[in-house]
Amino acid sequence: MKITAFFQSIEFANPYYFLLLLLIIPVAAWLYFFRHKMQASFTVPTTEVFKKIGKTWRVRLRWIPVCLLFLSYVALIVALARPQTSFRLSDVEVEGVDIVLALDISGSMKAMDFRPNRLEACKKVAEEFILGRPTDRIGLVVYAGEAYTQCPVTSDHNTLLGLLQKVRFDIIEDGTAIGDGLGTAINRLRESEAKSKIIILLSDGVNNRGYVDPYSAAEIAKNMNIKVYTIGAGTNGQAPYPTQYGTMMMNTEIDERLLQSIANETGGKYFRATNNDKLKAVYQEIDKMEKTILNETIFENKADAFFPFLSIGVLLLICNILLKYTAFRVNP
C-alpha cells in the first residue's frame, strides 16, 4: 500500500524526456532483424552434427545482458524526467446551508398520478436530496390540517432519513394548512446562524385550514432572509385516487397563485411537478441553485525523487558490462 501511494504521488518536472524512450523501438528492431547479418559465418555441407549438441546455459541466457541494457536506459530516462514526490495538505472551510423540507401529507397526497402515490414519491425524492447534501443541516416539517416538526434542523442525516420514512397519512387532522406548514418551518430556522437559509414547501392542494395566513408567513420569511422554494405536485385536470370502491378519478386543484406569491416574496422560485421524473428534476434544480460554498487552501511540498531511478540505471548498466566481458564474453 505504501509503494502504491508513493507512485500515485509522483509528478515529473521534465516529462518531455520520455520521448527518448521511443528510440528503443528502432534499436530493438535492428537487434532482432539485422544484427545477425553482421556476425561471422561459414558454410557447411550438413547441419546434422550440430543437432546432437545441446544448448549451453550461455546460449539460453544470452538475452540477459541486452535486457539489462534496455532496463538501464529506461531507468536513466525516468531519472532525467526528474520525478518529484508531492505532499498536499488541504484546509477546507465549509459554509453550509440550513434547509427545512415542508411536506404536505393531506389525504389528496394519496393520488396515484405519482408512483406509487404522491406522498411516497415525494419521500423518495426527498431522501435522494438529503443524501446529496452531506454538509448541510436539514430539518423536516409535515402538515395537513395543522403542522408539526417531524425532525428539527440537524446534521444527523441518518436520524432524519429514519424519521422521513415514518411519515404517513392520518397522523394529523386532514386538510391543507399551507400557512401553518410554512410558519412551522420558519420557526425551525429562527435561531439558525447559517448565511443561507431555505425552505422547500410542497403542496398539492388549496389552503383551507390553519391559523397562520400564508401571505403573512411569507412576509416573515422575507424579513428573516429565508428563501422559500415552492412546489405544486399533481397532474393537470384529474388524477386516479384510491377509495373503498376502487380507484376513481378526482379533480386536481392547486393554488398556484399562492405558491408563486410565496416564492416571489422571499426570493425563491415556484415549480410545478406532474410526475415522478419532473419532481426529481425540481429537487435537482434546487440542489444546483443552493450549493454549499467550499473555500479550499492547498499547501504543497515537493521533493526530488530521481536518485533511486539513477542508482538503479547505473547499477543495471554496470551489471550489463560485467556480464558482457565475463560470463557472456564473445570471442572475435
| Per-residue model confidence (pLDDT) at position 89 | 59
Share of the chain above pLDDT 70, in %: 82
> Average per-residue pLDDT in the chain?
86
Phi-psi region of 113 (alpha: psi -120 to 50; beta: other; left: phi over 0): alpha
Q: 61 vs 239, which has greater pLDDT? A: 239
Q: How confident is the model at residue 54 (pLDDT cuts 50, 70, 90)?
A: low
Q: Which residues contact 176 (CB under 8 A, 6 or more apart)?
A: 104, 106, 108, 143, 144, 145, 203, 205, 206, 207, 208, 209
Q: For residue 5, is pLDDT > 50?
A: no
Residues shown for the chain:
332
Q: For residue 138, is pLDDT > 60?
A: yes
Q: Work out the average pLDDT over 89-117.
A: 87
Buried/exposed code over 29-63 (b: 16+ C-beta within 10 A; e: otherwise)? eeeeeeeeeeeeeeeeeeeeeeeeeeeeeeeeeee
Q: How confident is the model at residue 10 (pLDDT cuts 50, 70, 90)?
A: confident
Q: For residue 332, is pLDDT > 60?
A: no
Highest mean pLDDT among 56-60, 123-127, 248-252, 302-306: 123-127
Nearest to 176 by CA among 219, 217, 147: 147
What are the DSSP calls for 75-122, one per residue? HHHHHHT-EEEEEEEEEEEEE-EEEEEEEE-SGGGG-TTSSS-HHHHH
Grid cell for residue 72? 538501464
Q: Which of 6-15, 92-101, 149-158, 300-309 is predicted with the least confidence, judged by mean pLDDT?
A: 6-15
pLDDT in tens, 263-282: 999 999 999 999 999 999 99
Q: For residue 103, is pLDDT > 70?
A: yes
Q: Which domains does the chain show, CATH number per domain?
A: 2-88+303-324 (no CATH), 97-291 (3.40.50.410)
| Per-residue model confidence (pLDDT) at position 280 | 96
Q: For residue 240, is pLDDT > 90?
A: yes
Share of the chain above pLDDT 90, in %: 55
| Per-residue model confidence (pLDDT) at position 11 | 81
Give the separation between CA 192 and CA 227, rounded to whole angstroms: 13
| Per-residue model confidence (pLDDT) at position 162 | 96
Q: 16 vs 260, which has greater pLDDT? A: 260
The SS3 of residue 246 is: strand
Give the separation between CA 276 and CA 126, rounded to whole angstroms: 12
Q: For residue 144, is pLDDT > 90?
A: yes
| Per-residue model confidence (pLDDT) at position 13 | 85
Q: For residue 222, is pLDDT > 90?
A: yes
Grid cell for residue 265? 416574496
Q: For residue 46, is pLDDT > 80?
A: no
- Contact assessment for residue 178 and residue 201, using Cβ atoms and an 8 Å cutoff: yes
Q: 164 vs 39, which has greater pLDDT? A: 164
Give the separation between CA 254 and CA 259, rounded to whole angstroms: 9
Q: How confident is the model at residue 2 (pLDDT cuts 50, 70, 90)?
A: very low
Q: For residue 76, is pLDDT > 50?
A: yes
Grid cell for residue 243? 377509495
